[in-house]
Structure 1
Amino acid sequence: MLLADCKGVTKPAEAHWWGYKTYLNSCDTKKAITDANTVGASGGITGAGLGVLGIFFPVLLIPGGVSALTGSYFWLFATRLDANNNGKGVIVDMTWATVFDITPQ
């Protein structure tokens, strides 16, 4: 993909008292979507696997639940990035509590 195909701007994360603001151009947004979907799928697979093993080893249910919730969070993050990209990139506001707001550029 050519640099000219990447609409929008990418800037380093800006630290604020409430968290971070990050600008991603359309190409970097697509990369972030792919990465977040990979983490989401990994969390789902791990959570499901530990959930099945939890039938026999109940101690595995807690890490399985944490893994599944983490995977779900990253899946939601990826879908919101994709929904707001519009081919021009996004602005991601992420608080210290990992609550995010994603807006189109």
Structure 2
Amino acid sequence: MLWRRQPASVDLRPLSALHAARKLAPDDEEAVRVETCMRLIAKVTDTNLLHRGGPEGLHFAQESASSFPAAGDFGSPGWRRRAADIHEAFVARNLSPGGSADLLAMALFVDRIEL
């Protein structure tokens, strides 16, 4: 069987999330990355979260990440503490958003080569 070359297919949601986060915190790349990661965790069916925590763990992670921006923007004091609290809750439940982290890495890579 011959393989036909298919056009590349790229999910642009991670890159869109990165660009949206950059509008919120244009001068703080750490904040941009945290916000992007939270957006991805909230919206993506991360199979690593699903594997580690089942549907309940995935739901917990998505709800936690969804609440992150609602609690205040990056200009407000305490955003790093809120992010750390979410991280600690994930660790306590053995949840690791590896798929979302991979998507963040790819978005950063594509963003960099587009410059």
- TM-score band, normalised by the shorter chain? 0.3 to 0.5
Larger Rg: 1
